[in-house]
Amino acid sequence: MSDKKKKKLTPVQQQYQSFSKAREPQRPVLLNCVKAFLVGGVICALGQGVSDFFIWNFDFTEKTVGNPTVAVMILISVILTSLGVYDHIAQFAGAGTAIPVTGFANSMASAAIEHRSEGFVLGVGGNMFKLAGSVIVFGVFAAFIVALIKTTLALLGGS
């Protein structure tokens, strides 16, 4: 807490702040980072394994394997979310499960599952995009800006 805010507090409030800060449990930041790194790495390694499976068994190329790999990873995430397993993994790993595409699929699936009692249109359809809507909007906007820059550079470069 900054000194300016502390000066506005009464002596009893300052004493309580000191008391509560002394008893606040320390967060294992380094351990949490290691767990997030390892679990996120395992998820990415699983994705690489799915890519390799498609390349070796279905004659995909490195350029064409991305879409089916993402689809399978999303499917795995949604299945694990519906079984309640993904939540336990996320509690253990923290941000390690939020960063890959599986975290996005988990957020949409869990919102849909949570609001299914309200019906398919207003419950599932309306609420699953509350959390994911901003990600979709900013993703589309970022893609538009990148395409605009790339097109402008191509026109200026003549290629």
Average pLDDT, 10 consecutive residues per value, the chain (159 residues): 63 89 89 94 95 95 95 94 92 85 82 72 69 78 94 84
> Residue 55 has what pLDDT?
96
> Residue 52 has what pLDDT?
97
> Residue 22 has what pLDDT?
87
Q: Are 65 and 72 in contact, with CB atoms under 8 Å apart?
A: no
> Residue 149 has what pLDDT?
95
Q: Is the pTM of this model over 0.85?
A: no
**What sign does the dihedral 91-97-102-106 (CA atoms) show?**
positive
The ranges assigned to domains in the chain are 34-156
φ/ψ of 68, rounded to 5, equals: -65, -30
